[in-house]
A and B are shown apart, each in its own frame.
Chain A
Amino acid sequence: QVHLVESGGGVVQPGKSLRLSCSASGFDFSRFDIHWVRQAPGKGLEWVATTSHDGRDKHYVDSVEGRFTISRDNSKSTVYLQMNSLRGEDTAVYYCAQERTYYYGSGSYIAYLDSWGQGTLVTVSS
């Protein structure tokens, strides 16, 4: 059974840094891409970042590009989100999620987020 657990959230001042962790179990971690998705209080879901299964390919939403860094340690079955220069608008619950894919044909794979963690709250406030 897939199990994802986020940790590292808390209250941090604007401009400071925080590192989130996503610890995984129940599947072959090194074979799957992992995503971070966040949700500001009372707001909708926002996709944040992803790392490929081997850590070589990474993508970010524009609003965190250059401030956040996603990485992974497959030996520890853990993905990290290093968040620097934090702003008030980064306040949110941060979820990590396992990507699965559906073969659509002609070499195309459709990605979807199958399993999610319970989330960790990050509050950026002075």
Chain B
Amino acid sequence: DIQMTQSPSSLSASVGDRVTIRCRTSQSVNNFFNWYQQKPGKAPKLLIYAASSLQSGVPSQFSGGGSGTDFTLTISNLQPGDFATYYCQQTYSFPHTFGQGTKVEFK
């Protein structure tokens, strides 16, 4: 199975900050990589697919980068609605593993 290492597990930030979350896979997954946002009590929401493609309707302050084994999710100009938990996922091979999650909290 492909192992996912997501960091940090949590971070504190303020409105307007630029935030970067990282995810590393135990072997190359090419661009078979996605990012999701989850708010308490809600289902996850797709943000980024294929490593860097912004899902329709998602604000452009979200961006994804990387390929192979190292990926990033960047939130520029953090907004109040962005305080949530973020998960990465690889869909290169089964099982389609998720990262451990990064909770973005208000400083």
Contact = CB atoms under 8 A, between A and B. Distances in A.
Q: Do A and B come from one complex?
A: yes
Contact of B49 (A108, A110, A116): A110
Interface of B: 1, 30-32, 34, 36, 38, 43-46, 49-50, 53, 55, 87, 89, 91, 94-101
Contacts of B96: 35, 47, 50, 111
A60 B95 contact: yes
Chain B contact surface mostly: loop
A46 interface: yes
Nearest to B97: A47
| Chain A interface size range | 20 to 34
A112 B98 contact: no
Contacts of A108: 30
B44 A112 contact: no
A113 B44 contact: yes
Contact of A113 (B1, B34, B94, B99): B34
Contacts of B43: 95, 116-119
